[in-house]
Amino acid sequence: MTRVPLLILPILDGGHELTIRKLKLQDDSFTIHYSITPPLPDADSAAPPFLPFLEAKDDLGNEYLDWGGAYGLSPDGIRTEGSLTGQPAPASEAQVLLVRVTFVQDSRETAYDMTLRIRP
């Protein structure tokens, strides 16, 4: 069974599509799993790499900081797959995360805001 994406939005001047596939909660953090189609340039490309980072706040006003992530080409080569982790873990009373993902390439920053439901 294929899981329905949490969110899909055009990014980088409409030339790519960001799909948020999953929000995973851990004891000390949360991780957003995403894909980008078509893929971003990889490390072997002549183009400068895109560096994504995360900022988040919940509906209670708690703030969460980027705790790292990783991305790379999917096995079939048609998209970039990655994850971004925020810390600390969302409060148990929080229902929604207001997330900003910013892609930095050279000195250019492009930010995207999204709302993700923490609990059903």
Q: Cα(106)–Cα(38) distance, rounded to whole angstroms?
A: 20
Q: Does 2 have pLDDT greater than 80?
A: no
Helix (H, G, I), strand (E, B) or coil at 11: strand
Q: Does 20 have pLDDT greater than 90?
A: yes
Q: What is the CA radius of gyration of the chain?
A: 14
Q: Which residue has the higher pLDDT, 49 or 5?
A: 5
- Return mean pLDDT, the chain: 91
Q: Which residue has the higher pLDDT, 50 or 37?
A: 37
φ, ψ for residue 9 (rounded to 5)? Answer: -150, 150
Residue-wise pLDDT tens digits, 70-102: 899 999 999 999 999 999 999 999 999 999 999
Q: Cα(89)–Cα(51) distance, rounded to whole angstroms?
A: 23
> How many C-beta atoms lie closer than 10 Å to residue 36's C-beta?
21
Global pTM? Answer: 0.89
